[in-house]
């Protein structure tokens, strides 16, 4: 039997059904499992704890597929998990009047390391772990049978693959090659998505609910949209009656698609200013020139990919929030986000509070903001709540 034996008392997290086994918890390994191969996890007293995918190159050495000893890790397990995940989203597609949705959300859908996003007639997958990679062909075949689509595309070009000892990989898995841009709908809004080269799988589906909130607060305000990417928040703001919006992004290609999205939605592109450049640099220029805004949106990329980067990330979040707070007119609105899972909710609030304190401004939390409902979090996997945001009023 291929198995991983834990050190004494190290099975506690598994008894709480947390799906990770770290290398430091392992006493010994029976057999010679290959990357992605299924192993049993056994406590020091011999008690069976679960079955999972072995990853010798990662600090997370095993990711659990099942805690049920009678459940075999086989194609039928993946079929049932995929069916359950997709079925749980069907009402969301109707509720949000959308054809773009996260169908599988990795550990939180009990399929560790697997992301599946739908953009109209195309599916985009990320295989982020050795186990997901090992079962790739099975998963792709079952997705093809389960969800009508024109093509399935892979976007496994992320740093997480390196930690698993896997090379980055992108390309067509089956069906038709996707067009340069895929048009999706989100309620009354339309967006063009670059699923081959865009950020993540092409679009920030996790910000869907927050785009609606931006629309609610945009009325006749002058808005600064930082890390604007392809303008999801810009479209939402102009739909809400914004008097004008300035987008800042380092990617000229993203800004170009963002302008196309403004036009696609029949909005006035004369209200849009696009600034290609480093957000921190441009914001400092605005601060020094006494430029002010009614609302500011901060949606930066992940600043902390590992614990070793956490302190640097905290400084980055504080710096950018300090700049934003100084640029807001009294009574202004701040939408500020962090997608760094290592920066938890309490720490993020403290960072923003410290920034307001250093800026000499009073601020109130109007509401907390979260990832969209098609990005659920397993109760036993709090790390799945990676996106957190604050809607604040600054005086």
pLDDT value of position 346: 95
Structural domains of the chain, with CATH: 3-66 (2.30.130.10), 75-182 (3.30.750.80), 204-394 (3.40.50.150)
Neighbours of 252 (CB within 10 A): 10
Partner residues linked to 367 by β-bridges: 391
Tell me the pLDDT of the chain (395 aa) as tens digits. Answer: 699 999 999 999 999 999 999 999 999 999 999 999 999 999 999 999 999 999 999 999 999 999 999 999 999 999 999 999 999 999 999 999 999 999 999 999 999 999 999 999 999 999 999 999 999 999 999 999 999 999 999 999 999 999 999 999 999 999 999 999 999 999 999 999 999 999 999 999 999 999 999 999 999 999 999 999 999 999 999 999 999 999 999 999 999 999 999 999 999 999 999 999 999 999 999 999 999 999 999 999 888 777 778 888 899 999 999 999 999 999 999 999 999 888 999 999 999 999 999 999 999 999 999 999 999 999 999 999 999 999 999 99
Q: What is the DSSP letter of 294?
A: E
Contact 248, 275 (CB under 8 A): yes
**pLDDT given at position 305:** 74
> Which residue numbers are catalytic?
339
Residue 170 neighbours by CB under 8 Å, 6+ apart: 153, 154, 155, 156, 157, 196
Place of tokens 């805690």: 67
Amino acid 1: pLDDT: 67
Q: Are 239 and 215 in contact (CB under 8 A)?
A: yes
Let me know the angle formed at the C-alpha of 8 by 11 and 42, rounded to the nearest 5 degrees. Answer: 50
Compute φ and ψ for 367, nearest 5 degrees: -165, 155
Q: What is the radius of gyration, based on Cα positions, of the chain?
A: 22
Cβ–Cβ under 8 Å, residues 168 and 180: no
Q: Report the chain's terminal Cα–Cα distance, integer Å.
A: 64
Tell me if 372 sits within 8 A of 100, measured CB to CB: no
């Amino acid at each position: 039997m291929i198995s991983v034996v834990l050190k004494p008392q190290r099975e506690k997290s598994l008894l709480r059904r947390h799906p990770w086994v770290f290398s430091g918890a392992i006493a010994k390994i029976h057999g010679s499992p290959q990357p992605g191969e299924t192993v049993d996890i056994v406590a020091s007293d011999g008690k069976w704890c679960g079955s999972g995918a072995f990853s010798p190159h990662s600090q997370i050495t095993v990711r659990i597929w099942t805690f049920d000893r009678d459940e075999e890790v086989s194609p039928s397990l993946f079929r049932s998990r995929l069916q359950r995940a997709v079925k749980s989203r069907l009402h969301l597609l109707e509720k949000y009047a959308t054809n773009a949705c996260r169908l599988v959300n990795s550990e939180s859908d009990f399929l560790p390391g697997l992301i599946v996003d739908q953009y109209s007639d195309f599916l985009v997958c990320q295989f982020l772990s050795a186990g997901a990679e090992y079962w790739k062909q099975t998963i792709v075949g079952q997705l093809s049978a389960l969800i009508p689509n024109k093509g399935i595309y892979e976007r496994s070009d992320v740093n997480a693959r390196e930690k698993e000892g896997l090379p980055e990989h992108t390309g067509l898995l089956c069906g038709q090659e996707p067009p340069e841009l895929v048009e999706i709908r989100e309620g009354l809004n339309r967006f063009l998505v670059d699923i081959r080269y865009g950020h993540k799988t092409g679009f920030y589906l996790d910000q869907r609910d927050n785009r609606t909130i931006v629309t609610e607060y945009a009325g006749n305000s002058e808005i600064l949209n930082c890390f604007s990417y392809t303008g999801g928040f810009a479209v939402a703001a102009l739909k809400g009656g914004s008097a004008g919006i300035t987008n800042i992004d380092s990617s000229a290609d993203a800004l170009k698609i963002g302008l196309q999205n403004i036009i696609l939605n029949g909005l006035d592109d004369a209200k849009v200013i696009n600034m290609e450049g480093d957000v921190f640099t441009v914001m400092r220029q605005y601060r020094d020139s006494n430029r002010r805004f009614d609302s500011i949106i901060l949606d930066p990329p992940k600043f902390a990919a590992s614990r070793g980067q956490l302190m640097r990330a905290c400084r980055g979040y504080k710096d950018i929030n300090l700049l934003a707070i100084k640029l807001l007119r009294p009574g202004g609105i701040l939408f500020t986000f962090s997608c760094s899972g290592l920066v938890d909710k309490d720490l993020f609030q403290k960072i923003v509070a410290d920034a307001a304190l250093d800026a000499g401004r009073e601020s109130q939390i109007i509401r907390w903001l979260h990832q969209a409902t098609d990005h659920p979090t397993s109760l036993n996997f709090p790390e799945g709540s990676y996106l957190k945001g604050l809607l604040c009023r600054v005086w």
